[in-house]
Amino acid sequence: MSNADVILGGQFIRTRDLAHGYSAEFKQQQERQQRLDADRLAENVRREQQREIERQAKAKKDEADAIKAFREFHDTPFSGKYSRSLIICRYAEARMGYAGTAEVKKAIAELNDPEFMKAFYPEKYAVIEKRAAMKAEAANLTPVYKSCCKFCKIVFFTHEELMDHQRDTRPCPKCRAVCSAGGEFHSCVVYGGSILEDRLPVVEEREEGIL
């Protein structure tokens, strides 16, 4: 018997055959372990993909809820303070996942931020911008003089016209509610009496200089 032979179960087996058997079994174990590792990796990837799909779905839903709460906040009158408080909390939960004190403060800041208005409520942002532009344009316009006689309510667009009117007319001596420019006759009842006056304008004759 050579050193290359061993006795197992009463049989002679060459050590090279035994080594080959061990090598084949070890290789099979390695292959099984590799398959297990590959299966575990594939399962981990599948679970991570599923979690990512769920995260994206939640983020999409949260964004829709935030936009809805944002619009409701700006469409709810200030008189409904309780309703507005609930909307702020809903917005904070949708945007930040929690409605604590810090989150609510941040939510209020975002709800009043023009950039968020532009993103979440563009049609209302356009209306606000248009109003602001009209207001700025009106502020840059030269103010138009406009005044009226306190007796006859005739409107004048220059100070000189108003002065001429006040110089050429006179108010009713009893009620002082109308001036002589208000019509031909004025029937006035004051202190139980009545008068019927000619309310034609009194035009003073003024000498005009000859150039």
Tens of pLDDT along 5-44?
544 455 555 555 555 666 777 788 888 888 888 888 989 9
Tens of pLDDT along 49-105?
999 999 999 989 999 999 999 999 988 877 655 678 889 999 999 999 888 999 999
When mean pLDDT is compared across 38-47, 134-143, 150-159, 183-192, the lowest value belongs to: 183-192
The CA distance from 110 to 20, in Å, is: 73
The CA distance from 4 to 19, in Å, is: 11
pLDDT value at position 196?
Answer: 61
Q: At what angle do helices 81-96 and 101-111 cross, to 10 degrees?
A: 100
Q: What is the pTM of this model?
A: 0.48
Q: Which of 119, 96, 118 is nearest to 107 (CA)?
A: 96
pLDDT value at position 192?
Answer: 54
pLDDT value at position 23?
Answer: 75
Neighbours of 70 (CB within 10 A): 24
When mean pLDDT is compared across 117-131, 138-152, 155-169, the lowest value belongs to: 138-152
Q: Which residue has the higher pLDDT, 188 or 29?
A: 29
pLDDT value at position 118?
Answer: 93
Query: How many alpha carbons fall within 13 Å on the CB side of residue 35?
Result: 6
- Tell whether the model's pLDDT for residue 158 goes beyond 60: yes
The CA distance from 174 to 172, in Å, is: 6
CA angle centred on 39, ends 33 and 42, rounded to 5°: 140
Non-local (6+) Cβ contacts of 27 within 8 A are none
Q: Which of 166, 136, 161, 165 is nearest to 146 (CA)?
A: 161
DSSP assignment letter at 113:
-
The CA distance from 14 to 1, in Å, is: 10
The CA distance from 33 to 145, in Å, is: 95
pLDDT value at position 22?
Answer: 67
Non-local (6+) Cβ contacts of 102 within 8 A are none
The CA distance from 182 to 206, in Å, is: 23
Q: How far is CA 100 from the centre of its chain?
A: 22
pLDDT value at position 110?
Answer: 94
Q: Which residue has the higher pLDDT, 112 or 9?
A: 112
The alpha carbon torsion through 14, 17, 18, 23 (nearest 10 deg) reads 160
The residues with which 141 forms a beta bridge, in sequence order, are: none
Query: How many alpha carbons fall within 13 Å on the CB side of residue 14?
Result: 3
Tens of pLDDT along 189-199?
665 555 666 55
